[in-house]
Structure 1
Amino acid sequence: MITTITNSNLTAQINHLGAELCSLKNNRSIEYIWEGNADFWGKHSPVLFPIVGTLKNNTFNYKDATYHLSRHGFARDMLFELIDKSENTATFSIQASDDTKNKYPFDFELQINYTLSDNSLSIGYKVINKSKNPMPFSIGAHPAFALPGNFEDYSLQFEKDEPLEYNLLQNDLISNETKVLSSPNSLVPLKYELFENDALIFKSLQSKYLTILKNKTPLIRVRYPSFPHLGIWTKMNAPFLCIEPWFGYSDSVESTGNLMEKEGIQIIEADQIFEAEFSIEIL
């Protein structure tokens, strides 16, 4: 099932499966979200919860028990309930079940809100800990933006001129090896060779937004003011780019598997709420 929200400038469509943004068009019907062609990658903009990335051996330990959790968690494969809707906003929810507790032993509610305002779509996350214990989790976004035509016509402009140091992945885990993107005037020309070793993982950036440009013309700006981590990814020869604000990331190659000690993990106390928001602005 698809829910549509609109304003005078934009129309967004959200699939109840995963509460996944599957379309964002302007009033000239230009599509900005990747179509989801499975020949490259069959997703559009999945939510990553209760982990981001990959766990070492796809397992974690909590209170002397071992749990199995696949890459990026289970929220993206769950059917969300639409709990609030107006012309330009929609809010979706999932809650813990016996099935989720077999993989992740916590009572929770995850709400995702989509709101259109002017030329922007804001996506808000609300994680509610309904457990009696502190709840460790990660959450992240994975929107894929359609980049038709020649990939090398596009570039990324970071908010600040800073060293763009990123960690390399090793068998889907964070390695200790880092590189620095060449970014004269905070501009990074796109080329597929950047992604030969999978995603670029930025553990720490001063920039809190970045802009996709085509032939030096700004197209899309992603703002993530409170998110501490960022991933950037595409597949070889695919006409899209993912800009992924995160709270958390994959296990390191040295991970012990203890979820409470996982690098980048967030922890909410019992009966508390975590909230974060990012936005996609069409320029």
Structure 2
Amino acid sequence: MKINIQNKYLSANIKSFGAELENLVKNEHNYIWTIDEKFWNKTSPILFPIVSQLKNNSFTLNNNQYKLPRHGFARDYEFSVIEKTASSVLFLLSENENTLKQYPFKFELQVKYELIENSLNISYFVANKSNLKMPFSIGGHPAFTIDNDIKNYQILFEKDENLISYELENGLLSEKYRHIETLNNKLNLSYSLFEKDALIFKQLNSKSIIILHNNIPYIKLHLGNFPNLGIWTKNKASFLCIEPWFGYSDSESSNGNLYGKEGIQILEPNNKFESFFSIEIL
């Protein structure tokens, strides 16, 4: 099922499967990438209850091993619609028999999309319905439309940054990292930046970034309370993913203890967690 929301400035379609943003349109231009499966088969998946990859795609709890796929399972389930207005929609995913086999926690994940003037606000609400502390990560993965040459695009950071990107080896964080050069807070993009997968920043000073097209502001992301950021594309693909995260991949030295995982969030029983970011069309 597809849900449409709109206001006088923007229109958006969201699929109930995965609660995935499918398009975001202003003046007949879609700012969200249209799927081309030779590159990627998603547009804006929700990453929960992990972000990126666990070592051996597994973790251990109470001497039991559980298998979790890359980026978790939320993107692979049908969400229910629990509230709808002309300009907003609220989705819900709860645990089920299959999720409990992968992740033995009772939870509620609510995702709200709301159009406010020229922005789409995306909010995540996580509730721990278990009697155990619940370790989790959550993140967004929107893919923005770009033309066929990424060299026409730049990223402008709100504040001065000493950008350190941690490198992946077989999907896991290695001990290698590299400094990403900026000039006047601006990062010039090229496909070569992504030869070793995503740029992964464990921390930023900036709470917003702007995608520039030929040095003209194109899209602004307000990162809300998200502490980590991924940036990703594939060679010759016409998308650029800007990914606000709580959490990131396991390291190569991970011992499988999800509670001790770097970047993980721990939610007490019967407690709730909220996070949000927004996409502003400039």
What's the TM-score bracket when you normalise by the shorter of the two chains?
A: over 0.9
State the distance in 1 between where 2:24 and 2:147 align.
15
* Structure 1 residues 97-153: Cα deviation after superposition (integer angstroms, max 9, x where no partner): 111000000000100000000100000000010001110000000000000242211
Deviation at 1:195, TM superposition (A): 0.1
Counterpart of 2:141, as a letter, is H
1:138 and 2:132 equivalent?
no
* Structure 1 residues 48-103: Cα deviation after superposition (integer angstroms, max 9, x where no partner): 00000010000101111100011000000000001000000000001001110000
User: What is the TM-score when the length of structure 1 is the normalising length?
Assistant: 0.99
Structure 2 unaligned residues grouped into runs of 5+: none
1:15 and 2:15 equivalent?
yes
Deviation at 1:36, TM superposition (A): 1.3
Q: Which residue of 1 aligns with 2:230?
A: 231
Q: Which residue of 2 aligns with 1:152?
A: 151
Hey, which bits of structure 1, 4+ residues long, moved more than 3 A? none
Q: Which residue of 2 aligns with 1:81?
A: 80
Secondary structure (helix, strand or coil) at the match of 1:185 reads: coil
Structure 1 unaligned residues grouped into runs of 5+: none
State the distance in 2 between where 1:148 and 1:206 align.
29
* Structure 1 residues 224-278: Cα deviation after superposition (integer angstroms, max 9, x where no partner): 1211100000011101100000000010011010011111110100000000000
Q: Contact conserved, 2:172 with 2:250, CA < 8 A, in 1?
A: yes
Q: Contact conserved, 2:105 with 2:130, CA < 8 A, in 1?
A: yes
Counterpart of 1:137, as a letter, is F
Summarize the alignment of residues 150-229 of structure 1 with structure 2, pairs less than 5 Å apart.
150-229=149-228
State the distance in 2 between where 1:255 and 1:65 align.
16
Secondary structure (helix, strand or coil) at the match of 1:188 reads: strand
Q: Which residue of 2 aligns with 1:110?
A: 109
Matched pairs, number: 282
Q: Contact conserved, 2:53 with 2:70, CA < 8 A, in 1?
A: yes
* Structure 1 residues 192-242: Cα deviation after superposition (integer angstroms, max 9, x where no partner): 000000001100111111111011100001111211100000011101100
Secondary structure (helix, strand or coil) at the match of 2:192 reads: helix
Counterpart of 1:18, as a letter, is G
State the distance in 2 between where 1:114 and 1:250 align.
26
Secondary structure (helix, strand or coil) at the match of 1:39 reads: coil
* Structure 1 residues 158-191: Cα deviation after superposition (integer angstroms, max 9, x where no partner): 1112211110101100111111111010101110
State the distance in 2 between where 1:166 and 1:282 align.
27
Q: Which residue of 1 aligns with 2:264?
A: 265
State the distance in 1 between where 2:148 and 2:95 align.
42
Q: Contact conserved, 2:224 with 2:278, CA < 8 A, in 1?
A: no
Counterpart of 1:120, as a letter, is S
